[in-house]
Amino acid sequence: MVRPGRHRHRHHPARSLGLPQRSRGAPAAQRHHRFHRRLERLRFRRRARARAAHPRRHRPAQDQRRRFVALQPRRVDQRADRRQRVFLAGDVRANEQVGLTAMHTLFVREHNYWAGEIAAEDPALDDEAIYQRARAIVAAEMQAITYREFLPALLGRRTLAPYRGYRPDVDPGIANVFATAAYRFGHSMLSPELQRLDAGGRVIAAGNLALANAFFNPEEIAAQGIDPLLRGLATQRAQEIDNFLVDAVRNFLFGPPGAGGFDLASLNIQRGRDHGLPGYNQVRADYGLRRVRNFAEINRDPVVQANLAAVYPSVDDVDVWVGGLAERHRPGALVGETWQRILAEQFERLRDGDRFWYESYLPADLVRVVERQTLARIIRRNTAIGGELQADVFRVPSSAP
């Protein structure tokens, strides 16, 4: 870690709670044009389905449970030793890690499932109407899964305030400290390898995949499919959220297999400084929490206290990403008090300030349909995975090692 000076954190009252500054990138019209170009490449325009590729044939797949996100139309120099085909999705980062590619693939299949159901129910609808209805359902499913499954597991079951309907006075924008520090808690949860399991819970013949080899390696998805990865992700225990990161993201981040990479911890610390985030204690004050007076109030573990004291002259010098990870966890939550407060505040605003939040936007009968869907049901519906998958994939089954 870099040893900070005492006056490194120059606090601005809008830096923690406010939004990042207006983008200085491409003009809005140009970004809008690029978005629609990508969208057109992703649509198949046959009963409103999203374009998908067979693992071994570069044409739209017929077997729903073997489809992937679309293949890029040309090869790219992603690897130093050879050119390879990569996948195309709505998010440009879809090839960054095989777990991301698997999730993009899963929800492409889910969109196509709903497009088929809608078309069968009302054959008179045109492609655009089918596409938009399927898109709305999948977006609602993602919202419901996030707030009904993921966030209760992360923050505790009763941390978020109940939904009371759309509030036009609420700004749903993303807080700087959320995007730059708090929502990067997951980097501490990564394990050195990704498990890949068959239906019997055994490691597949190709073996588990080292995390260092999972970056920008879409060929592993094409070769093994997404089912073994999804079984592994649902079964494997995450690392505890703390100040430790595995070597794969300390030395091999984003490096192609066999090459070196970046140090994610140092990037996160420097990113907070580049964005002008105040220190850990000031962020706590910005969110209405009491300032800590010493390292023991961050964590009772004397080893953690000693490690912090070896780097920072005082608690007021602690970088917010480091301090947030170091906190002892709240009862029933996987994070400490500061992360819990920032995450809850952000996700409440995202929900309450969204005019198209599914509970206020969709008809009541469709809301009930959406809320019956879980991530486990979506996985079972769109893969060959069956009863071996637990009902709540965010919680490891008791039989898991």
Q: How many residues appear in the chain? A: 401
pTM, 2 dp: 0.84
Predicted confidence at residue 398, as pLDDT, reads 76
> For 237-295, what is each residue's pLDDT tens digit?
999 999 999 988 887 666 555 556 678 999 999 999 999 999 999 999 999 999 999 99
Phi, then psi, of 389 in degrees rounded to 5: -90, 130
- Note the helical H segments in 226-314: 227-235, 247-251, 264-274, 280-286, 302-311
- What three-state secondary structure class fits 209? strand
Tokens of 113: 């499932």
Tokens of 254: 């984003």
| Domain ranges (residues) in the chain | 36-166+358-401, 168-190+238-353
- What three-state secondary structure class fits 84? strand
Predicted confidence at residue 371, as pLDDT, reads 98
> For 84-102, what is each residue's pLDDT tens digit?
778 888 888 889 899 999 9
Predicted confidence at residue 60, as pLDDT, reads 40
Predicted confidence at residue 14, as pLDDT, reads 43
Which residue positions in the chain have pLDDT lower than 50? 1-8, 10-15, 19-26, 30-31, 54-62, 71-80
Taking alpha carbons only, the member of 41, 37, 97 closest to residue 73 is 41
Name, in order, each residue with C-beta under 8 angstroms of 192's C-beta and a sequence gap of 6 or more: 210, 211, 246, 247, 248
Taking alpha carbons only, the member of 133, 110, 240 closest to residue 185 is 240
Angle 268-96-174 from CA coordinates, rounded to 5°: 50
Pairing assessment for the beta strands 209-210 and 193-194 based on DSSP bridges: antiparallel
| CA gap 380, 389 in Å, rounded | 8
| CA gap 229, 194 in Å, rounded | 7
The number of angstroms, rounded, from the C-alpha of 393 to the middle of its chain's C-alpha atoms is: 15
User: Which amino acid belongs to residue 223?
Assistant: A
Predicted confidence at residue 71, as pLDDT, reads 47
